[in-house]
């Protein structure tokens, strides 16, 4: 069966780089939403706990329930239902959200400091704070999201200044023990000094990638995930000119071995463009290439090995498809077994 390996050493290497940027490991929250960016929700939760991190961020309440035993704090960004657990913290993205929660629920208020996606407007802040008080909710956090932390320009610094001014408003409204946070992966590494008195949310960087202009000089990170396929068949009696797979876009031309491996687009490995296949532009870590169109459940590769590493880094595939590593990784099926190595 196909499987995914998760490198403990690489994951810890990336987290150590983040650790150097913050005052305390207690300030780090690992982002585990969407199956930990395809790496396996509980698999990465176990590793983060082993590293010494006790804060996490997820998208759904169902995700929080799966990893509840690993963390003392779990921020839920878009909860689909509510459970009053001490380590669950629910995001308020709008004024309407405030009315959804019963008394004494832990909440964190998200403010729109310039992203213009989710979060209350700064002009709504005082009204929101008063409404939270009147409804008896426990405000435990206040945060924002940076729009262009991975881009050159002043946007990051403008948003930081706006957010810092709003922090003063929250404190002046007599809210205590508030968890403030704004920095994502790129924001962490663009901070010129150690980040103190604020949590950081590390997502894609913990998995070995960071996007951005090369002039920003982000650190070299190590990809954590590798995708492996298992041989399920082999083409016998190869003869030059034989056409392979749907449409016959590839022909045998001197290959000694061609085997079929159990990875296809139903597993989340996208169908490669025909020109990439015909020109053998996508290569595995062992320099093998795909022949023929990728099928729903399989692909043909010029190898006779029992197992083939399909990719070790999502960056090459991201370039081929004109997208980001995020999209390549999160599409990997959660049915594929994850193995920590």
Residues 41/67, Cβ–Cβ less than 8 Å? yes
148 backbone dihedrals φ, ψ, rounded to 5°: -135, 45
| Closest to 155 measured CA to CA, from 187, 128, 117, 130 | 187
Q: Please confirm, yes or no, whether 246 is among the known catalytic residues.
A: yes
DSSP at 319: H
- Catalytic-labelled residue, pool 33, 73, 110, 261: 33
For residue 184, give both structure tokens. 């994502």
278 annotated active-site = no
Closest CA to 6 of 326, 230, 339: 339
Q: Do residues 159 and 149 touch, judged by C-beta distance below 8 A?
A: no
Q: Pick the catalytic residue: 100, 246, 335, 337? A: 246
239-260 burial string, b = 16+ CB within 10 Å, else e?
A: eeeeebbeeeebebeebeebbb
**Shortest CA distance to 291 belongs to which of 328, 260, 337, 266?**
260
What would the two tokens of residue 16 be? 């150590």
Cα atoms found within 13 Å of the Cα of residue 273, Cβ hemisphere only = 10
Q: How far apart are CA 282 and CA 276, in angstroms?
A: 6
Token pair of 195 as six digits: 């980040």
Pairwise CA distance, residues 147 & 151, whole Å = 9
Positions marked catalytic: 33, 246
């Amino acid at each position: 069966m196909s499987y995914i390996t998760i490198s403990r050493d690489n994951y810890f290497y990336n987290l150590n780089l983040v650790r150097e940027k913050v005052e305390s490991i207690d300030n780090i929250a690992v982002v585990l939403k969407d199956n930990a960016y395809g790496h396996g929700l509980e698999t990465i939760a176990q590793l983060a706990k082993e590293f010494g991190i006790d804060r996490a961020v997820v998208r759904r309440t169902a995700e929080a329930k799966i990893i509840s035993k690993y963390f003392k704090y779990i921020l839920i960004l878009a909860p689909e239902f509510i459970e009053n657990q001490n380590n669950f913290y629910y995001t308020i993205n709008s004024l309407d959200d405030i009315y959804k929660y019963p008394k004494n629920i832990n909440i964190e208020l998200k403010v729109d400091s310039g992203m213009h996606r989710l979060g209350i407007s700064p002009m709504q802040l005082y009204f929101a704070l008063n409404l939270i008080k009147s409804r008896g909710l426990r405000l435990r956090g206040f945060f924002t999201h940076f729009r262009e932390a991975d881009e050159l320009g002043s946007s990051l610094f403008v948003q930081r200044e706006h957010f810092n001014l709003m922090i003063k408003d929250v404190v002046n409204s007599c809210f205590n023990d508030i968890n403030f946070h704004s920095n994502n992966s790129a924001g962490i590494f663009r901070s010129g000094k150690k980040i103190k008195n604020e949590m950081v949310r590390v997502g894609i960087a913990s998995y070995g990638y960071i996007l951005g202009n090369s002039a920003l000089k982000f650190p070299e990170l190590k990809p954590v995930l590798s995708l492996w396929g298992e041989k399920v068949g082999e083409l016998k009696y190869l003869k030059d000119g034989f056409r392979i797979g749907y449409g016959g876009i590839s022909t045998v031309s001197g290959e000694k071995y061609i085997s079929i491996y159990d990875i296809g687009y139903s597993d989340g490995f996208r169908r490669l463009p025909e020109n990439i296949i015909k020109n053998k532009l996508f290569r595995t870590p062992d320099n093998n290439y795909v022949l023929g169109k990728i099928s729903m459940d399989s692909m043909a590769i010029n190898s006779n090995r029992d197992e083939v590493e399909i990719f070790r880094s999502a960056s090459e595939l991201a370039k081929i498809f004109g997208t980001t590593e995020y999209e390549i990784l999160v599409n990997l099926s959660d049915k594929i077994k994850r193995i920590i190595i």
